């Protein structure tokens, strides 16, 4: 018997998903969308993606590289990697707290 779990909507900020996607190397827009969907099971639409890419680039967390075959790859900057690591540490601590409160081991 399976229990249907109601959909709670998107928890992750698109910027965080993009930074995680770029953490293993440069990618162009379509590759980022595919990577995010592969990792989360949820699509990231092009409008959301490109708006978030512009904000991340403006803040110096990512940078656009020279186009390759009409596709513009992006890469994480050193500042972006530092910010991402801190955000992931904070999320990890928050997840452990939530699991403890639920009486479930954070294993």
Question: Where do the domains of the chain lie?
Answer: 14-101
Q: Structure tokens of 63?
A: 């940078």
Q: Can you tell me the distance from the alpha carbon of 21 to that of 31, in angstroms, rounded to the nearest whole number? A: 9
CATH of domain 14-101: 1.10.10.10
Q: Model confidence at 8, in pLDDT bands (50, 70, 90)?
A: very low
Asked whether residue 42 carries a pLDDT value surpassing 70, the answer given is yes
Total-model pTM:
0.84
Residue 43 reports pLDDT greater than 70: yes
- Copy the structure tokens of residue 32: 């980022």
Mean pLDDT for the chain?
Answer: 89
Q: Kindly tell me the burial class for residue 7, based on how many C-beta atoms sit within 10 Å of its own C-beta (0-12, 13-18, 19 or more).
A: exposed
């Amino acid at each position: 018997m399976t229990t249907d779990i109601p959909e709670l909507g998107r928890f992750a900020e698109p910027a965080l998903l993009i930074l995680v996607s770029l953490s293993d190397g440069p990618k162009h827009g379509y590759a980022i969308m595919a990577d995010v969907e592969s990792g989360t099971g949820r699509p990231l639409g092009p409008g959301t993606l490109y708006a978030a890419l512009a904000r991340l680039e403006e803040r110096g967390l990512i940078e656009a590289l020279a186009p390759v075959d009409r596709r513009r790859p992006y890469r994480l900057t050193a500042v972006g990697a530092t910010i991402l690591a801190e955000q992931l540490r904070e999320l990890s601590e928050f997840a452990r707290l939530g699991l403890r409160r639920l009486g479930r081991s954070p294993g």
